[in-house]
Amino acid sequence: MKVEISHIKNVYFVGIGGIGMSGLARYFHTQGCQVYGYDRVNSPLTQLLQSEGISIVYEDQVDLIPFSFKNNSSENLVVYTPAVPQNMEILQHFRSIDQRLFKRSEVLGLLSEDKFTIAIAGTHGKTTTSSLVAHLLKDTGYDCSAFLGGISANYDSNVLFGNNDVLVVEADEYDRSFLTLHPDLLVVTSLQADHLDIYGDYEHIVTSFKEFLDNKKENGWALIQKDVPLYGDSYYSLEAKDTAIYAKDLHAENGHMTFTYVQGDAELTDLELGMPGLHNIENALAAIAIARKLGIEDAKIRKALKSFKGVKRRFEKIVDREDVIYIDDYAHHPEELRALLKSLKVLYPERAITLVFQPHLYSRTRDFGKEFAQVLSQSDDLWLLDIYPAREEPIEGITSSWLLDQVSTDSKRVLSKEQVLEAVKNSPPELLVTAGAGDVDRLVLPLKEILKG
């Protein structure tokens, strides 16, 4: 039976604290629905949702479910994330009353059905690219709504509301979520092995992305990064001049970068992106191409590009002083770490890099142990935190010490969060980086306080 989103009055989110789920929760709350949720962890994001008027519980107990959800109703919508255990009491209750359960991706698919949808996919780079596309459309007056996979620093939110039918969506490949979307315009930023606990191998990931491309609307347009093994309508690359869209004249100075955008005979010279990182210049190429595809004037694009403040936890400068620079980043895959370290070395060639990295998932650490060790060896001083398990149980023999043994850097150690704070207090690094997708971000505020002294 088809769900009529317009008829929904009450929404319950199981795993409301995730970045994608919280965006949907905010959307329905803004639409006037009564919104409730459960999450395992009381976090800054859940606290923010509560301050906005959303009711959240942190215990898996049926008696904490609101009265309106005690019985099945067509006015109720229950949304869950695959990251939560399927044997939860709350989920079992909803199944027992035959209340249909929706994944976040299914709800996104329903919301985007009657929209002009711009979907940004890729194993890396999709959050920054989708946030930049949304900013270009907002800042130039074209307008859009957006569901983002991170907190936009310009709008301090992961969901944006517009006054037209244009919707920018971060299309997540995890659990094949993006296959519910039927985009008008789409971008694939990268395609590398990841989520092997879901896909099994790289070939199945590629197959899933091919299905995603097949889902584009009849007159849709697909922009593909050059190294991605997919066929699109156009291609882009950082500096490969044999692609339709590329960058040239890249200059880095004092942590800032300028470049020229090239598309056929058109050149946008001396562009400045409001956030650093070589990989983010490539992300910007895709965003500019989408804006130009929509007919937005180059002069407006130039202005909007410079005012882009980035995404929280994406090459985010926390402290920027002559004696110490501190950057926080979401990088949790070897290729993301490689791009992060490469950009750091270009922007700050004279500074030694102290990297605090928290591996994310036992399975990912095991599957990419060799690749992690190679890229982590590029840091000057490596501090590993324990593996963040998220949805997983421990895997025998797979620990941060196991990973550290494979790293060739001379200066390396496994530390607790408390030991990291103590080490920074005793001897502040000249370039400090925290990276990971777990709860390593809990170090950001205390480290900021220590370094600002």
pTM for the whole thing? 0.85
User: Which pLDDT tens digit goes with each residue over 91-127?
Assistant: 999 999 999 999 988 999 999 988 999 999 998 899 9
* pLDDT confidence of residue 196: 58
Look at residue 205 in the predicted model and tell me its pLDDT: 86
pLDDT digits over 146-204, tens only? Answer: 999 999 999 999 999 999 999 999 998 777 788 999 999 999 999 976 655 666 677 88
- CB count, 10 Å around CB of 141? 9
Please state the rounded mean pLDDT for residues 271-296: 93
Which letter does DSSP use for residue 395 in this model? -
Q: What is the DSSP letter of 183?
A: -
Report the binding-site residues for ATP.
Answer: 122-128
User: Is residue 84 very low, low, confident or very high in pLDDT (cuts 50, 70, 90)?
Assistant: confident
Q: Where are the beta strands (DSSP E) in 214-352?
A: 221-225, 234-237, 245-253, 256-263, 266-272, 316-320, 325-329
For 253, list phi and psi in degrees, rounded to 5: -155, 125
pLDDT digits 0-9 by tens, 288-314: 999 999 999 999 999 999 999 989 888
* Closest CA relative to residue 183, chosen from 263, 77, 293: 293
pLDDT confidence band for 77 (50 / 70 / 90)? very high
- How high is the pLDDT of residue 1? 56
Span 439-453, pLDDT tens digits = 999 999 999 999 987
Domains and CATH numbers, the chain: 7-103 (3.40.50.720), 113-307 (3.40.1190.10), 316-452 (3.90.190.20)
pLDDT the model gives residue 255: 65
